Amino acid sequence: MAFTGVVTKAGFMEKTATVTVSRWVIHKLTGKQIERSKKYLVHDEQNQLRTEDIVTIRNCPPVSARKRFKLEKILKSPETEREIARTRRMQASQATPQASSVLEALRAS
- Cα dist from 60 to 5, 22, 55, 71, whole Å: 17, 20, 16, 10
pLDDT(106) > 60: no
Task: Identify whether the C-beta of residue 11 lies closer than 8 Å to the C-beta of residue 50.
Answer: yes
Overall average pLDDT of the 13-25 stretch = 97
| 47 and 100 fall within a common domain | no
Model pLDDT, residue 70: 97
Length of the chain: 109
pLDDT tens sequence across 50-105: 999 999 999 999 999 999 999 999 999 998 888 888 888 888 888 665 555 655 66
Which CATH number does the domain housing residue 24 bear? 2.40.50.140
Q: Report which secondary-structure segment, H or E, holds 42.
A: strand 33-43
- The pTM assigned to this predicted structure is 0.76
| 100 and 53 fall within a common domain | no
Higher model confidence: residue 27 or residue 108? 27
What range defines the domain where residue 58 resides? 2-76
Q: Report which secondary-structure segment, H or E, holds 47.
A: none
